[in-house]
Chains A and B, each alone.
Chain A
Amino acid sequence: MAIETRVRPDDPTGPTQPDLDPHSESPGPKSMAAARHTPVPGVTVVSTEHNLETMEMTINMGPQHPSTHGVFRMVLTLEGERVKQLEPHIGYLHRGAEKLGESGDVEGYRKAMIWLDRTDYLSVWPNEHAFVLAVEKLMGVQVPERAEWIRLIMDEFGRLNSHSMFYGAFGADAGATTPFMYAFALREELYRLFEAVGGQRMFPNYYRIGGLREDVPVDFMQRATKALDAAKYALGDFDRLISDNEIFLARTRGVATLSAERAIDLGCSGPMLRATGVPIDIRRTEPYSFYDRVDFEIPIGTAGDCYERYLIRLSEMFQSIRIIEQALKLLPKGPIMGNAPKAIRPPKGDSYQRVENARGDFGVYIVSDGKGSAPYRVKYRSPCFSNLMALNDLAVGAYVADAVMGLGSIDIVLGEVDR
């Protein structure tokens, strides 16, 4: 049974210590009241009037729970409705994506990318980008301008996709079902574009070391513009739907706050970090690709609460649209594949490339032994995993409902946390 009532356990510092001698009076309670007031060995009766004390309840949230966004499990210790203790459990989705990435016998680097796609299934494009950039750095391959611009455009579309998923899921966490549907309407448009470009909706595996697998379709401009228009339209809807809703404000503002110092200590990145007011965005601080050639601004918050994390993601979507519009204008004609050899065999060495994906600072570390066609070692730096470290700070002491909001505002993808 879930909640039991019991007398408070023996507390040596307690004010009263009743006589525990069982022979002092005859056992056998005469009535319920007498039974309640009969001293039990090893248990301190705090007061004869209020000796019924509620007990903490341990509740298991997940791995099958609608608001844990996958197979995440929290063991919550509740005191009434408040979370007193939180114990996260991860690993239900561990597939060994890094180890599998080292195991390809032929074309191991491309196969590693396939496994990478399956980790963070929402932020596929920037992650692929990090991988190809890391290998290109190792091999010294030059990428044609057109390929790099297309990568940048698709990265930003990927960010739009991921953030709209966050929007829907966060709304659902708050109890509103409609944002979810609106988010999926936009994601459908974006996935149509992804399908046209990469040939696959979720896991395009489109970037290649040295360029792209194939050129974008001839009507790419029209398709991209259509997707952008859909995004602009949907973003207006997103904003009007819940951003100023009183209940939504009450549920998110000041909830699950995180200070900048704590966020840095925990290694948070992405919107989690920027909500605390730290303007760190890899696209600006360590620009890769052509991000130093486009104008965009970085939204940062002050309080570091759920609401700012939400607003920052919404604002980043507007910035993504801005970046894509500039990039579409700058997109040159030309080849899409550089001077990369057919068989990818990087020289001995290692390289690390970090990108700003939808969740934060995503890094790929690759070690090559110079011999095999597969990387000797692959390591992914997962922003979700680091951001999830903040969960205890966000949820302990809050209501259950706020713990759910805090977890939702981290925007985790368990595939990436567990890898």
Chain B
Amino acid sequence: MEQVRLPHLFPVPEWMPGFLVAPGIGGFSLGDFIALFILLNFILGFVMFEIWLERKIGGHIQLRRGPLPVGPHGALQSPADVLKLLTKEDLTPNTADKRIFKMAPYLIFIPVFLTYIVIPWGGLWPFNLTVRPFDLSLIYIVAIPSIQGLGMVVAGWSSGNKYSLLGAARVVAQFISYELPMVVTLLSIGILAESLSVAQAVETQRASTWFMFLQPVGFFIFIITMMSEMHRTPFDIAVAESEIVGGPFIEYSGMRWGIFFLAEFAAVFLNACLAVALFMGGPELFPFAERLPIPGISGIPGISADSTLLRQVGDSMGVFFFFGKAMTIMVLVQWARFALPRIRIDQLTDLAWKFLLPASFANLILTAVYQQFGFYPFAAGIGLVLITLGIMAISYRNRRPADNGIRLVSVPRAA
């Protein structure tokens, strides 16, 4: 795993002691481990904030106010919940496969955490906050989170409960359906970036423009598939409360149950981060930062003086912009949870196989055309794809037939 050089990011400061950056176990330096430790704690803290935010957003959408009593505006509700979960009894059903049952929560959380290490957070002057932007990280972000699906299947199977088993079966169907369009979409990103590295994708977007403008279809597919991978509404069939009452998590209690939710919310933010890194320019402030003729300022060590001011700001405080964008996506996902009903399993797989997968392949081919032949064949192709997508959307769309629906009749008053 060779580390990709990020030319715009700051080099390691000179005053940093050497033993922190010297390669150690498995190529990871002591600094890397410190970074991992900080990252883990950050994720745990951020998830608490995220849960609070979701509950607040949900509350205000639903004519409620969300959590209030614990802390100002209920801000300490999540720590209080964690304390409660820690003190609850950790039940293991008699029918469960005990070792696997106890292992499953970690099998779900650890892959999510491991995927965080490739996120190019961007710079915070004079530091570079990317933990490990290695090559093939595009493959890594597909491969490692898939273990999470395995974890859910294992949780469902080992619980010894029929509902959780149904949930596990649904997880399998969902993962198989949605991994494919996602991988094909990521391949288009790989083609555009001419690399299989997330960090290189960010670099390419710096040089050209954000991929969400070059890849609107890909962006759309990525958002849909990531929501499905996280089992968020409207794709939460695996944990459907009103049908299979929580699915794989039904038998879990206490902190093990909490770890599932920790993993779910961590995955939401992770996928939002991936969407930002791959499609929204990563830590960049503005999509056309280089084009705006605002002269930059010089004299700050580590920041190149010949770029524009917007780019300099984006480089030196990129992590804030990264977070802002990621939280926008995150709130979008949370919003969908409170706005939409749940899709049925056959409709879910229909959507994946009959719509998203062909669309992602078309997108891949077009991307290759664009990369090889330039803009004009690409534009013609885009027109074709739009027409195809339109036809597919119309055929997919479940329109209200004219004869279906109600009518009002006046029944004469009986004598």
Contact = CB atoms under 8 A, between A and B. Distances in A.
Interface hub of B58, B160, B166, B346 (most chain A Cβ within 10 A):
B166
Sorted nearest first, the 4 A-B pairs with minimum C-beta distance are: A175-B342, A181-B62, A174-B341, A176-B341
B161 A2 contact: yes
A141 interface: no
Main secondary structure of the interface of A (DSSP, over half): mixed
Nearest to B156: A2
Contact of A297 (B95, B243, B408): B408
A399 B344 contact: yes
B240 A2 contact: no
B159 to A, nearest CB: 9
Interface in A1-55: 1-3
B406 A308 contact: yes
Given A1-B95, A250-B398, A175 B406 contact: no
Contacts of A404: 242-243
Interface stretch (A89-97, A112-120, A280-288, A358-366): A280-288
Contact of A399 (B162, B345, B410): B345
B99 interface: no
Interface string B226-250: 0000000110110011111100000
Interface in A286-327: 286-287, 292, 297-303, 305, 307-308, 311-312, 315, 319
Interface hub of B62, B64, B163, B233 (most chain A Cβ within 10 A):
B62
A303 B240 CA distance: 28
A401 B237 contact: yes
A121 interface: no
Contacts of A196: none
Contacts of A59: 162-163, 166
B338 interface: yes
Contacts of A65: 245
A156 B160 CA distance: 48
13 contacts: A60-B162, A174-B341, A175-B236, A178-B62, A178-B338, A180-B62, A253-B404, A279-B411, A284-B412, A287-B414, A300-B406, A305-B404, A311-B405
Contacts of B412: 284
Size range of the chain B interface in the assembly: 35 or more
B63 interface: yes
Nearest to B161: A2
Contact of A176 (B64, B243, B342, B406): B342
B342 to A, nearest CB: 3
A285 B414 CA distance: 6
Interface in A164-201: 171-178, 180-182, 185
A311 B408 CA distance: 11
A235 to B, nearest CB: 15
Nearest to B344: A401
Interface string A95-111: 00000000000000000
A175 B64 contact: no
Contact of B243 (A177, A249, A299, A400): A400
A307 B400 CA distance: 10
A251 interface: yes
A245 B340 contact: yes
B409 A247 contact: no
Size range of the chain A interface in the assembly: 35 or more
Contacts of B410: 297-298
B165 A2 contact: yes
B294 interface: no
Given A172-B242, A175-B236, A181 B63 contact: yes
A219 interface: no
Given A176-B340, A287-B413, A404-B242, A301 B62 contact: no
A214 interface: no
A248 interface: yes
A332 interface: no
Nearest to A302: B403
A401 B234 CA distance: 13
A57 interface: yes
B61 interface: yes
A125 B233 CA distance: 37
A4 to B, nearest CB: 11
Contacts of A341: none
A253 B400 contact: yes
Contact of B240 (A175, A281, A301): A175
A315 B405 contact: no
A78 B162 CA distance: 11
Nearest to A284: B411
B332 interface: no
B404 A3 contact: no
B406 A66 contact: no
A18 B275 CA distance: 58
A249 B344 CA distance: 11
Contacts of B406: 275, 299-302, 308, 311-312, 315
Contact of B400 (A60, A81, A249, A286): A249
B411 A181 contact: no
